[in-house]
């Protein structure tokens, strides 16, 4: 069976709920077992993946379904946010742009909510 891979680029905090909806809809449409999905947050989008985020429960639910979450370390540094403030389900990656380029070079579909 064909497997699908998609990376969603979250760079605006006001689009965080939309990004989570997009991933949820993707999983519902194609099936959890056929989709690898990742949300990469950089710039203002990192706010969605901080422990203080009101979206924490939704992020945790999607992570439990296999969705990967990544946060740009350079953004954290530039905004004065410590890695300890990031949700445990999110991985801090060296750069958001690098993560996007890696995934796209591996054939992942790019989605910008």
- Tell me the CATH number at 105: 3.40.1260.10
Cα–Cα distance measured from residue 35 to residue 86, given in angstroms and rounded to the nearest whole number: 25
Closest CA to 58 of 10, 18, 108: 18
For residue 66, the enclosing domain spans 4-111
Backbone angles phi, psi at 38, to 5 degrees: -140, 140
**pLDDT at residue 66 tops 90:** yes
**pLDDT at residue 93 tops 90:** yes
Q: How many residues does the chain have?
A: 113
**pLDDT at residue 1 tops 90:** no
Q: Which pLDDT score, from 0 to 100, does residue 84 have? A: 98
**pLDDT at residue 65 tops 90:** yes
Q: How many CA atoms lie within 13 A of 74 on its CB side?
A: 9
Mean pLDDT of 79-85: 98
Mean pLDDT of 85-90: 98
**pLDDT at residue 54 tops 90:** yes
CB atoms within 10 A of CB 56: 15
Overall domain count for the chain: 1
CB atoms within 10 A of CB 14: 10
């Amino acid at each position: 069976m064909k497997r699908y891979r998609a990376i969603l680029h979250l760079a605006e905090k006001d689009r965080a709920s939309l990004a989570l909806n997009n991933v949820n809809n993707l999983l519902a449409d194609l099936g959890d077992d056929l989709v690898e999905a990742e949300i990469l947050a950089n710039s203002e989008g990192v706010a969605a993946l901080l422990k203080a985020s009101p979206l924490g429960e939704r992020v945790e639910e999607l992570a439990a379904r296999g969705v990967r979450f990544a946060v740009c370390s350079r953004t954290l540094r530039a905004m004065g946010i410590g890695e300890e403030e990031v949700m445990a389900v999110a991985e801090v990656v060296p750069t958001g742009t690098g993560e996007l380029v890696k995934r796209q070079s591996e054939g992942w579909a790019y989605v910008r909510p």
